[in-house]
A and B are shown apart, each in its own frame.
Chain A
Amino acid sequence: MDAFVKQIANTLPCRDGFVRQLYRYYRTGDPFPPALYIYGQSSTGKCAILREVFRQWPGEDEGLRCAHLNAISCYTNKILFETIARQLEGAKLSQSNNYSSDGKLEYAKDFLAALRQRLDSDRSYVIVLRNAERLRDMAHNLLPLFLQLPEATGLNISVVMVSSLPFEKFYTKTGLPPLLKLFVPEYTRAEMQRILMNDFAQHILGLTGYQPRQDKQWLFAVTEEFHRNYVTLFLGTFWKVCRDVKELRLVAAECFPPYCEPIRDGTIPAQDSVKLWRNITKTLRAALSTMYMRLGTKSVGKSVTPDGTTWLAQNLELPYYAKYLLIAAYLASNNAAKEDRRLFMKNHGKQRKRLQTVNARAKVVEKMTTKLGPKAFNIDRLLAIFYAILDEKVGLTCNLLAQISTLVHLKLLTYASSAEGGGGGSAMLDGSATRLQCTVGMDFIMQIGRMVGFNVRQYLTDFF
């Protein structure tokens, strides 16, 4: 067992307990547990380790056969059953069998019959099912079936379900048989450091690819000790935000070359970690804001705004009237309809100041309409506001109306009530039936307003 654990720890460190438990269940020669439920956060190495554990080692455990599949891809019973049966049988799809299996397996009955007939009772079988939470959305008999496959087939078969939810979310009204549950905890900081330090060789490779080949003497300064310092420093910035191994490894690899840059230039010696830290902070902060965005290596070091809305607003080229329509839609969504008269009409009556209204105005940030989310409005109101905020008089042409539906297509507006009016679009011209919502944010609309020379803030009741 120890040799086995060590072998896996070479590539996938810090998971010894989990591997040991799996070894006890599946590699000691005892009959398998009928079902095993493995849960834990994403990218804690569940699937990678399962793949390693159930790989056929040369010379041992010839009898084990494993089917790996993802429940998301099995959108019908047939695909699920046939994929499992094929993989357990060891058959491969090729041109000779016309890329199809021999029998149709549409029902659980057929599936069980196929398992009973086609599989060898001397061997043992494992089905690894990723994203097992999808099983709840499939046919109701699947989950109970997979929890007691050995009983139903008489084989030494086990189903390993992998998911990120606890099993409490799986309970059905008719009850489920008991099963083994295994929790995979997240990596601690020390473990994460070990994992990142494993990438030393890869980082060096990245450096050599990044640099011209002539001067390599400085590379001798990049030792493992230096790398360890880098990893500690890196985790100091990133550990609070992200514990996802994949993301951290990517960003660490991206930020390492800029970290080494001053050493190559010779401006800062490799031992002066404080200066190196000052040098890199700007890059790290930029990388922190583009986390999970997977923008590629080029973006590191450039300043990209956190959410990218201004970028989008500057680069989205809308026609002139469409911009005004969008502003009108934003105003209609974020102002109460009773305020329209005061905001957009020339001769609205005098406002009486009453204590009640004064109190109502004294809003807290949580109650501002721009924070609560957009309200729905109908087309008449949109057009009325549009004509009110536009200085010139334009005719209500079909181009104008078509631009509204184009904005809907661009998902800058949405139908608020899809149920009524036959999906919204059909009853657009009835006026009352269709209600729209504006989906863009405050910054975006400010940018658009700036482009056409219109102050949006002035027309928002929140900011009086």
Chain B
Amino acid sequence: HAQVAAGTPKRNIQLSNIIEECSNGRRVSRLLELSPKKLEPLPVEEPKTPKRNSRAASTQPTSASKGTPKSANKMKLIRDGTIKPNIHSRDAPVQHDANELALARERLHVSATPSSLPCREKEYEEIYNFLEGKIFDGCGGCMYISGVPGTGKTATTTAVLRALKQLSEEEEIPKFEFVDINGMRLTEPRQAYVHIYRQLTGKTLAWEQAYNLLNKRFTTKAPRRITTVLLVDELDILCNKRQDVVYNLLNWPTMPTAQLVVVTIANTMDLPERLLMGKISSRLGLTRLTFQPYNFRQLQEIVMARLAGMSAFNSDAVQLVARKVAAVSGDARRALDICRRATELADDQAKKAHLSVTVSMMHVQQALTEMITSAKVKTIRSCSRMEQLFLQAVTAEVTRTGIEECNFLGVYSQFEALAAFSGVIVPNPGRAMAICARLAASRLLICECGRSDIYQKILLNISTDDVHFALQASKLL
């Protein structure tokens, strides 16, 4: 056993050396996925020299049976990409009761993306053609995809890439590498280099090094280079003042040596013209694709496609959700969330009545009121009487002066008058300021901080009609 143990690390050292030279990410991971099984019986032995210790440690992969490496070493291993991050898992998956409503809820979950997206066939086709052409030609290019949130931009693009990946594994199209970064997940635009380099090679470097290596990779010729597809989600977050990161990401595809295809996704249609410098928007090119918001038919189709073969939902209920959501934003995620909430409400009812219940219009209506109606009116209604009086004083002051912004002194004089009318003792200005601060903390008002006490500017954060409506209901007016 001991001989095996002594032998194994050595072999691994050599392997790791090779890996570093060829800098091919997938090979690293494949090799290291295998290695723990080999090394599992290895007993922890006392190494003789510190040099060997560090090497042995660096070649020891993660395995729960062995003692974890020391923290400094561990960090090094993580940065090298030898250890992959993983999370704790349950011993066994949670048992579901095979209720139809529960099943529907599972299918309606936003993260349960179907393999083929309904109502996005045309866009799918366009992205597919673009990417397939670029991969076949072995040249680089850019594409810009835009659309409001929840219109299936990322889902469609990743579906295309999944299909292409499958084809390339079946060797019908040339092999390609796929890297995706999301602007929202980066702490800083320059970290984009680090993430791209990590996905290509598995190593974590400082951004300067990563940038230099990437630049070298994309600008020098290599005979057997394969195409890299880079998906940049949330492009607008990557734009800083100098816009150097965006420039580099869009400049590399123009190099004949790079074979890089960049697909960028953002929300606004005119982002390249509005935010990006001329040299960047020209590099981004004119291959644009806009995802229109779903109309109610499409939303209905999406929900129905998820619920295919189930009778949990009333079709009128689905239509109501689709129409309500399409009128506001056309966001598929919102429609799915409302449907899920409706199934939860139906489930509650079913548990109470011990019956099987399908989701009906009533449940959907309830879910809609929960999720769409504003909380402000409710907040005003649950305010204390003095706070309501103060809000009323602010509206009175706004109507008196005709200007939306009023200052505390004016509001306080109105407040005094109102309090006198309704027969309450007028709180002193300090108390009134406390009331004002409370209302500002719940965002019913917008105030300055308390330091500029009686001269602070007050702005109503809700419409005066809302205040009137809410106060009428509480019988203050």
Contacts and interface: CB of A to CB of B under 8 A. Distances in A.
B450 interface: yes
Interface residues of A, number: 12
B96 interface: no
B449 interface: yes
A172 to B, nearest CB: 6
A175 B448 CA distance: 12
B450 A175 contact: no
Interface in B422-436: 429-430, 433-434, 436
A171 B454 CA distance: 13
Given A136-B451, A173-B447, A173-B449, A168 B440 contact: no
B453 interface: yes
B438 interface: yes
B369 interface: no
B197 to A, nearest CB: 30
A174 B438 CA distance: 8
A346 to B, nearest CB: 51
Give the interface residue-count category, chain B: 10 to 19
| SS of A interface (majority) | loop
B474 interface: no
B442 A171 contact: no
Nearest to A166: B430
B428 to A, nearest CB: 10
A173 B434 contact: no
Nearest to B453: A168
A311 interface: no
A239 interface: no
A218 interface: no
Interface in A167-193: 167-176
Contacts of B450: 168-172
B420 interface: no
A174 B434 contact: no
A175 B449 contact: no
Contacts of A175: 437-438, 440-442
A410 B453 CA distance: 37
Nearest to A181: B430
Contacts, number: 37
Nearest to A136: B451
A173 B441 contact: yes
Contacts of A136: 449, 451
A171 B456 CA distance: 12
A340 B29 CA distance: 87
Contacts of A168: 429-430, 433-434, 450, 453
A136 B453 CA distance: 14
Interface in A372-408: none
Interface in A136-183: 136, 166-176
A435 B176 CA distance: 68
Nearest to B456: A171
A166 B429 CA distance: 12
A173 B448 CA distance: 7
Nearest to B431: A168
Interface in B46-90: none
Tell which of B430, B434, B436, B451 has the most Cβ of chain A within 10 Å. Answer: B451
Nearest to B447: A173
A171 B430 contact: no
Contacts of A172: 437, 449-450
26 contacts: A136-B449, A166-B430, A167-B430, A168-B429, A168-B430, A168-B434, A168-B450, A168-B453, A169-B450, A169-B451, A171-B433, A171-B436, A171-B437, A171-B440, A171-B449, A172-B437, A172-B450, A173-B441, A173-B447, A173-B448, A173-B449, A174-B441, A175-B441, A175-B442, A176-B437, A176-B441
Given A168-B430, A173-B449, 12 more contacts: A166-B430, A168-B434, A169-B451, A171-B436, A171-B449, A172-B437, A172-B449, A172-B450, A173-B440, A174-B441, A175-B437, A175-B441
Interface of B: 429-430, 433-434, 436-438, 440-442, 447-451, 453
Nearest 9 pairs between A and B by C-beta?
A175-B441, A171-B450, A171-B437, A168-B433, A168-B430, A169-B450, A172-B449, A168-B450, A169-B451
